[in-house]
Amino acid sequence: MSAGSTRLCLEARQTWLELGPDAVVVLPLGPRSIASDCLRHDPPTALEVEQAIDVVEEALLRTGLPQAPRGTIVTSSTLLRALPGLERDGADVAAALLILRETMHHLGYDAVRVVGG
């Protein structure tokens, strides 16, 4: 991982950010938990998406990390397909993208770089 980048790992029910060699932040949510708790329809309704955003925002707020220019989030190209039972067009994909988007927006990332698994 290069300087100025953070590794993002989306697991079914948790998400972690590796901010540096000794700095890992774990969010108690992942695509599967957001999909099952918030996104009941396919495609999700606007209200469901707003509720999911609120859940992710609250988890990010609890980390205590301020919004600051942070550079790039690095994630694996096989990440979404590797989640157990994940469908290409399902709520899990919407939830994963929502987590990525909210993390970038609220913590100050300006880019995402997808790397091989």
What's the rounded Cα separation, in Å, for the pair 106 and 60?
8
Quote the pTM value: 0.86
Question: Percentage of the chain with pLDDT > 90?
Answer: 64
What's the rounded Cα separation, in Å, for the pair 36 and 90?
11
pLDDT digits (tens, 9 = 90+) for 15-40: 999 998 889 999 999 999 999 999 99
Element (H, E) at 1: none
Query: Environment class of residue 20 by beta-carbon count within 10 Å: exposed (0-12), middle (13-18) or buried (19+)?
Result: exposed
Q: How many Cβ atoms sit within 10 Å of the Cβ of residue 105? A: 14
Task: Mention every residue, 6+ apart, whose C-beta is less than 8 A from residue 95.
Answer: 30, 31, 32, 34, 35, 38, 39, 52
Task: Read off the CATH number of the domain in which 107 is found.
Answer: 3.30.420.150
Q: How many domains, in total, are found in the chain?
A: 1
What is the domain extent for residue 88?
Answer: 5-115
pLDDT digits (tens, 9 = 90+) for 53-74: 999 999 999 999 999 989 999 9
